[in-house]
Amino acid sequence: MSSYRLNKLSNQSAATKIRENFSRVLNEEYNIPLELAKEFSANWKYGYEHEVHAFSESVYIGIFGAEIGAILYANMRDTESPAWKQSRIETSIKYVSGEIG
């Protein structure tokens, strides 16, 4: 894989910056023409960076359609840090066990 992964953004990053990252991934990793990549990415309207990592694959597919949603979700999942992944696992375990709800 190339180094054109979704850049880590602060939680306050504008949706515009997220769309730019999505466009870059689609263009540079999947050879989708830039204008078309921007059209696909335009479906991300308002979300912040923490939502990029919080949404499920089904949410991505709902936002971007089956193929582009699956591509962007897989790319995002591949860029998560080990600490982020561990925190998600721990939160899931706490939720299932009833510690949080």
Query: pTM of the full predicted structure?
Result: 0.67
Res. 1: pLDDT tops 60: no
Termini Cα distance of the chain: 38
Rounded average pLDDT over 6-27: 77
**pLDDT at residue number 42:** 95
**pLDDT at residue number 34:** 97
How far is the C-alpha of 18 from the C-alpha of 16, rounded, in Å? 5
* pLDDT tens profile 45-56: 888 877 888 899
Domain edges within the chain: 15-97
* pLDDT tens profile 55-100: 999 999 999 999 999 999 998 887 765 654 555 555 555 555 666 5
**pLDDT at residue number 41:** 96
Region for 65 from its dihedrals, namely left if φ exceeds 0, alpha if ψ lies in -120 to 50, beta otherwise: left
**Per-residue DSSP letter, 98:** T
